[in-house]
Amino acid sequence: MMVRSRDRAVDLHAPVVMGVLNVTPDSFSDGGAYATVDGALDHARVMIEQGAVIVDVGPESTRPGSQPVPSDEQIARAVPVIRAIRAACGDIVLSIDTRSAAVARAALEAGADMVNDVSALRDDEEMVDVVAESSAAVVLMHRRGTAADMQRGGGPRYGDVVEEITRFLRERVDWTVARGVERSRIVIDPGIGFGKRVEHNLQILRDVERLAAIGPPVLIGASRKAFIGNVSGVTDPKRRDAASAASAAIAVLGGAAIVRAHDVSSTVDAVRVAAAVRAAGAGVMRCEPTRR
């Protein structure tokens, strides 16, 4: 399996790790940690050395309760970092985590390859055109509600949560393809933590195989999220990396092609073991998210 992104292609025959690089003051676990270009570049280098194949630059927090950030402010945060990483780190795949077409366009012009849109191209009607015209890869994520209201009252209720997410993602993939984005450039994400209760997030991890049956590569982003704290009893997000690595391994066993992580080192190790187990069951041994 491959996902194509502009003039690059990511080989997903073995699962890969997407490293999180938040350039925000208010992200839930590392807000403000990489607010300077030098700090962000240093962290990107560390994640790449540890085995990240994709680096996801986030200029706007989308945690529950967060407020929108103007596009010009997002651009000021993200574009210098993307330029610096592209200049220093060669052909690493760079993703821009944004819902804004203006931010996506500026980031792609600066050297990004992929747009990671938590709204599945719904929040900005121009976003699909930016993606189609640039030949960028795109992550379509399921989200119930908005950042401001998605977890009110403990989160929404579903019937079969995985069935509802599957139906939504199928529809968004078809809609996106119909508007000029090649299917080979699409990744899907069930949106763990985005308008879901603890039990819904656990059901998603249990049933990743059902999501993989949609066709495009599946991205799982469970790293350090609140449900992991609820299950493990660890309140500090920065101390959830062991449990996060366990969730990444579970996702890979279910067929996830990409896992998004704050702590790349432990996640690469967990993914390597899970991929080996999955490959052994399939009678093949392609299990290396290799360290650089």
8 is catalytic: no
Q: Which domain holds residue 163?
A: 2-282
Close Cβ partners of 153 (under 8 Å, ≥ 6 residues apart) = none
CATH number at residue 179: 3.20.20.20
User: What pLDDT sits at residue 34?
Assistant: 74
Of 156, 73, 150, 85, the residue nearest 118 (C-alpha): 150
Q: Do the domain assignments include residue 76?
A: yes
* Any domain includes 291: no
Averaged pLDDT for residues 3-30 = 82
pLDDT at 292: 46
Model pTM above 0.85: yes
Helix (H) or strand (E) holding 183, with range, is none
Residue 112 lies in a domain: yes
260 catalytic, yes or no? Answer: yes
171 pLDDT exceeds 50? yes
As for how many domains the chain has, the answer is 1
The tens digit of pLDDT for each residue in 157-170 reads 899 999 999 999 99
Q: Which residues, other chains included, contact 18 with Cβ-Cβ below 8 Å and sequence gap of 6+?
A: 52, 53, 54, 55, 56, 95, 219, 221, 258, 259, 260, 261
For residue 288, being part of any structural domain is answered with no
pLDDT band at residue 68 using 50, 70 and 90 as cut-offs = confident
Task: Tell me if 254 is assigned to some domain.
Answer: yes
The two beta strands, 54-58 and 258-261, are: unpaired
Position 147: which residue type?
A
Closest listed residue to residue 190, CA positions, set 139, 226, 264, 154 = 139
Residue 290 lies in a domain: no
Q: How far is CA 186 from each of CA 95, 101, 136, 149, 191, rounded to the nearest angstrom?
A: 13, 17, 9, 27, 15
At 129, the amino acid letter reads D
Residues 63, 99, 224, 260: which is the catalytic one?
260
Q: Which of 77, 143, 196, 225 is catalytic?
A: 225
The pLDDT, as a whole number, for residue 110 is: 96
**CA–CA distance, 148 with 63 (Å, rounded to integer):** 9
Query: Which residue did the predictor score with more confidence, 61 or 194?
Result: 194
Please tell me the least confidently modeled range out of 13-22, 54-63, 123-132, 243-252: 54-63
Do strands 186-189 and 219-220 pair parallel, antiparallel, or not at all (unpaired)? Answer: unpaired
- Region 103-116: mean pLDDT is 97
In a domain, 88, yes or no: yes
Per the domain annotation, does 292 fall within a domain? no
Interval 135-159: pLDDT, tens: 999 999 999 866 555 455 566 889 9
Q: Which residue has the tokens 């041994």?
A: 285
